[in-house]
Structure 1
Amino acid sequence: MSLESALAPDAVPALNVTDPSFSITSTEVHDARERSWYATTPYGFAVLRYDEVGHLLKHRNLRQGSGAWPALNGVTEGPFARWWASWILHKEGADHNRLRRLMNPAFSSKVIAPLAPRFQNLAAELVEGFQHGESCEFLSEFAEPYAARVLAIMLGLPEDEYPVIVRESNTLALALGVSMRNDMPKIESALSNLYAYADAVIADRRAQPRADFVSALTNATLPEDGRLSDIELRDAMVMLILGGYDTTHRQLGLAMQTFSRHLDQWDLLRERPELGSRAVEEVMRVNPTVRWVTREVLEDFTFQGLDLLAGTTIHLYTEAAGTDPRSFDNSFDITVERQPHFGFGGGAHHCLGHFVARSDMSEALTLLARRLRGIRILPGQSWLPDSGNTGPVRLPIGFTLSD
């Protein structure tokens, strides 16, 4: 069956995700979810309901769908193309399993949990730096330095060099945009600079191992898998810098947006800091920075009456799934234990750094709730498009600073 014939039923909604005004969290998308578990888009199919997203994330006939992004933009060779292809996210089968087995121990709670007090102290330091006591530009004054310095702590880089991580990560993130090809000289320069940082840290830990994250990564070895090479290590470390910085600082911004609409929950988090981890999960359920997870069909198969052909792209809508009334009520409540959200993906490609992100965001939100009362979004905000990966670019917030 052709793609066109699969789309024939009039009941199947169509979403024009290429329209600049399209919003993945819009009433249009939520109404489409009530009509059908999937929709058609210029990019392929969009899956809108919780159960179907959960099943397809783990389906054996689907693979991670973002590996072809550089080639789609005319970038098929050079340092960036090689680095992109090296990501564990873009590996399948034995290659993926080997890298994941070797890298998993470095991302374990045993390694990350001892860093929690440093994350909390960092959050407190940044809040103390708010100069006016009634407002701040949340991205530049808190979220960006917090996410970048967390990475510096983990990677053993000097914390006062965090602006380098911000600058180079923001430049490298241009690769996620449609102007990638034109931006490639800047992107590859940023990649080279981050490689230099990674190489220096790897050499240091090879010579003088410590009880830290990078040492655990550099010394990872298994009899059946050998060890990570220096090239694999630096590729992974730069991937961590980009992924950890970009998603964390924007997710923190989205958290402030969400809590500004639910001040009763913000007050509750101040009164019950033990709910910090639950707060992260609830925010990521209803307002994730990763708005969709991409998969590609490996072999033809039929799912709930829909024929899916090899090569077809499928976008699994995380926000639509996380707010699906078939699986969740319409409340935002950090005291409720919910079914898992899909903000970290799922299946074989579930985010390797999810524990890091959960830990540092939990510490940040708990401290922010204690110190900032009555948070509100002020004029002057700007946002990335509400599709793919999204979040604030600029987020002025008002508050009352408390002890």
Structure 2
Amino acid sequence: MTQQEILSTDALPYLDIADADFSIRSQAVLDARDAAWCARTPYGLAVLRYDDVQKMLRHPKLRQGSYRWPAHSGVTGGAFARWWEQMLLSQEGSEHARLRRMANPAFSPKLISSLIPKFQALANRLIDGFAEKGECDFIAEFTEPYATGVICDLLGLPFEKWRELADIAGDMGLALAVSYKRDQATVDAATERLFAYAEELVALRRAEPSEDFIGMLVRANADTDQLSDQELLDMIVLAIFGGIDTTRNQLGLAMAMFIEHPEQWALLAEQPDLARPAVEEVMRVRPTVTWVTREATETFTYNGTEIPQGTTVHLFSQSAASDPAVFETTDFDITAKRKPHFGFGGGTHHCLGHFIARGDMTEALKLLAQRLKNPRFNGEVLWLPDSGNTGATAMPIAFDAA
């Protein structure tokens, strides 16, 4: 391609994704996707179409780009930014591979399968707490304690800590919205609390060795060349925060989708085996992680567009997974056979916890559909901004008990 054939990015549509009122599901995004394969944004480029997102996830000249999120948000310091820029998800190459090997044993399919009875018992216990009332705040009474309880089971933590850990994760999660700078003081205070808790856990496991994930990391840390003291704490904070925040939000989004499509909820209740594909369909239509981020390691040209070194590239999993060029029908349908969504990212940085996320959400949806009939909104639902990492912070619902 000649220099004259390289298209100017000025001709691309523009999406102001830094605006707190911007919606990833807006008509503006659909129009931009129709007009071009990508759009300009305040942070760089946004890739909008399925095939392009799939290719860019594994492009050899792109690296993981989320490490720059604090800087994009106008945040240049603080506890969360330090952790976010240095922890596992923000690393590349051999460092990323080394840290990922440390975490892998906690998220193996065999281990997750052994925890399924615990997921079921936890879900039933939580539903027992509000089933007879016929109403609940689905976030406060189910998704928060459920997501946190799953992490407690996985990491060998006492369930009694769930409320404190859920509150911390909720406050830290504000950093993943476009309003991060506004909420920085809350985010950093929560991050400092979680690090203090991680330090307490390390001291406990050193005094009383265990065979759980944290005990394994503490043993690795005995050789600090293998896992440094800071990396140990960073890994524990990631395991707690990452597992709670995303599962809580995704289950809330799932309930919202099913309330809007009651026939699909009734179908799931009749056919519990549809719970697993239901998780995939929810994550296709309403993912909590609405974009995956990459950064250009050198200047290259793609689809006639020059992408300079250092450019941040947001891969819009939300719009890609409803691309009419790939999906014959994009209506919410838990029985439909679909191409894979991008809710867990892809490539080297594919979500480490996807097995546990799929497992715990499958069991939750299966039991909820069987025990809560005709769910409907029962008051005002409070939402995080509809981009970045999104979800509900409060969701009052009513239902008919089975």
Query: TM-score scaled by structure 1?
Result: 0.90
- Bigger mean CA offset, 126-135 vs 250-259: 126-135
The answer for the alignment partner of 2:284 in structure 1 is 285
Alignment-derived partner of residue 298 in structure 2: 299
Residue of structure 1 in register with 2:9 after alignment: 7
Segment drifting more, 352-361 vs 298-307 = 352-361
Moved more, 176-185 or 160-169: 176-185
1:33 has 2:49 as partner: no
Higher mean displacement: 328-337 or 138-147: 328-337
**In the alignment, which residue of structure 1 is the partner of 2:253?**
254
Partner of 1:370: 370
Q: How does 1:217-256 map to 2 (within 5 A)?
A: 217-219=217-219, 227-256=226-255
2:130 is the alignment partner of 1:130: yes
Pair 1:270–1:283, CA change in 2 (3 A)? same
Distance in 2 (CA, whole Å) between partners of 1:177 and 1:261 is 24
Counterpart of 1:68 in 2: which secondary structure? helix
The alignment partner of 2:85 has SS state of: helix
Residues of 1 paired with 2:44 and 2:275: CA distance?
Answer: 37
Report the Cα distance in structure 2 between the residues aligned to 1:389 and 1:179, rounded to whole angstroms. Answer: 11
- Distance, in Å, in 2 between the alignment partners of 1:81 and 1:28 is 31
How many residue pairs match? The answer is 397
Kept in 2, the 8 Å contact 1:106–1:214? The answer is no
**Counterparts of 1:174 and 1:207, CA distance in 2:** 34
Letter in 1 for 2:9: L
CA deviation map 1:286-324 (0-9, x unaligned): 110111112211100001111100121211111111111
1:45 is paired with a residue whose SS is strand
Q: d(CA) in 2 for partners of 1:8 and 1:74?
A: 24
Task: Let me know the Cα RMSD of the aligned residues.
Answer: 2.6
Secondary structure, aligned partner of 2:39: strand
1:65-104 alignment runs, 5 A limit: 65-72=65-72, 75-76=75-76, 79-104=79-104
Q: Measure, in 1, the Cα distance between the counterparts of 2:357 and 2:271.
A: 21
Q: 1:167 to 1:19 in 2, by over 3 A?
A: closer
Mapped to 2, the partners of 1:357 and 1:160 lie a distance apart of: 21
Q: Please give the per-residue CA displacement for 1:191-216, whole angstroms capped at 9, x wherever unaligned.
A: 33322332333344455554534344
Greater CA deviation, 151-160 or 79-88?
A: 79-88
Gaps of 5+ in 1: none
Structure 2 CA distance for aligned equivalents of residues 26 and 182 of structure 1: 24
The separation in 2 between residues aligned to 1:209 and 1:336, in whole angstroms, is 47
What is the distance in 2 between the residues matched to 1:381 and 1:174? Answer: 17
How far has the Cα of 1:51 moved from its partner?
A: 0.6
1:67 aligns to what SS in structure 2?
Answer: helix
Question: Percent of pairs identical after alignment?
Answer: 51
Question: 1: distance between equivalents of 2:383 and 2:185?
Answer: 26
CA distance in 1, matches of 2:371, 2:345: 32
CA–CA distance in structure 1, aligned partners of residues 192 and 253 of structure 2: 31
Kept after mapping to 2: 8 A contact 1:260/1:377: yes
Q: Give the Cα separation in 2 of the matches to 1:204 and 1:149.
A: 20
For residues 135 and 141 of structure 2, the distance between their equivalents in structure 1, rounded to whole angstroms, comes to 10
Structure 1 window deviating more from structure 2 (53-62 vs 236-245): it is: 236-245
Q: TM-score, normalised by structure 2?
A: 0.90
What's 1:21 paired with? Answer: 21
Q: Within 2, Cα distance between the matches of 1:22 and 1:85?
A: 25
Aligned partners of 2:218 and 2:232 also within 8 Å: yes
Alignment of 1:205-220 (within 5 A): 205-206=205-206, 208-219=208-219
Cα distance in 2, alignment partners of residues 380 and 183 from structure 1: 22
Q: Which residue of 2 aligns with 1:115?
A: 115
Judge conservation of contact 1:103–1:220 (CA < 8 Å) in 2.
Answer: no
Residues 20-77 of structure 1: per-residue CA shift (max 9 Å, x gap): 4321112221232122211222222111111100100111211222212334556545
Counterpart CA distance in 1 for 2:390 and 2:80 is 23
Shift of 1:79: 4.4
Judged with a 3 Å threshold, the aligned counterparts in structure 2 of structure 1 residues 8 and 186 are, in CA distance, closer, same or farther, namely closer
Output the CA distance in 2 between the equivalents of 1:265 and 1:177: 30
Q: Distance in 2 between matches of 1:196 and 1:142?
A: 26
| Mapped partners of 2:266, 2:380: distance in 1 | 25
Partners of 1:52 and 1:97 in 2: CA distance: 26
CA distance in 1, matches of 2:98, 2:189: 30
Alpha-carbon distance change, 63 to 256 in structure 1, aligned in 2, over 3 angstroms = same
- Aligned twin of 2:161: 161
Show CA shifts across 1:317-370 (max 9, x none): 111111111222223222334221111111111111111211111111111011
Aligned to 2:316: 317
Describe the SS at the equivalent of 2:66. coil
CA distance in 1, matches of 2:193, 2:180: 18
State the Cα distance separating 1:14 from its structure 2 match. 2.2
Question: Which amino acid in structure 1 is aligned with residue 359 of structure 2?
Answer: S
Answer with 137-146 or 98-107: which moved more: 98-107
Q: Which amino acid aligns with 1:212?
A: D
Cross-structure match for 2:200 = 200
What displacement does 1:217 show?
4.3
Distance 2:58 2:177 in 1: 27
Match of 2:396 in 1: 396
The AA in structure 2 aligned to 1:299 is E
User: Structure 2: which 5+ runs fail to align?
Assistant: none
Q: CA, structure 1 residues 111+22, in 2 after alignment: closer, same or farther (shift >3 Å)?
A: same
Decide whether aligned partners of structure 1 residues 220 and 283 sit closer, same or farther in structure 2, where only a CA change above 3 A counts: farther
Residues in 1 aligned to 2:64 and 2:392: alpha-carbon distance in whole angstroms:
26
Distance 1:268 1:179 in 2: 38
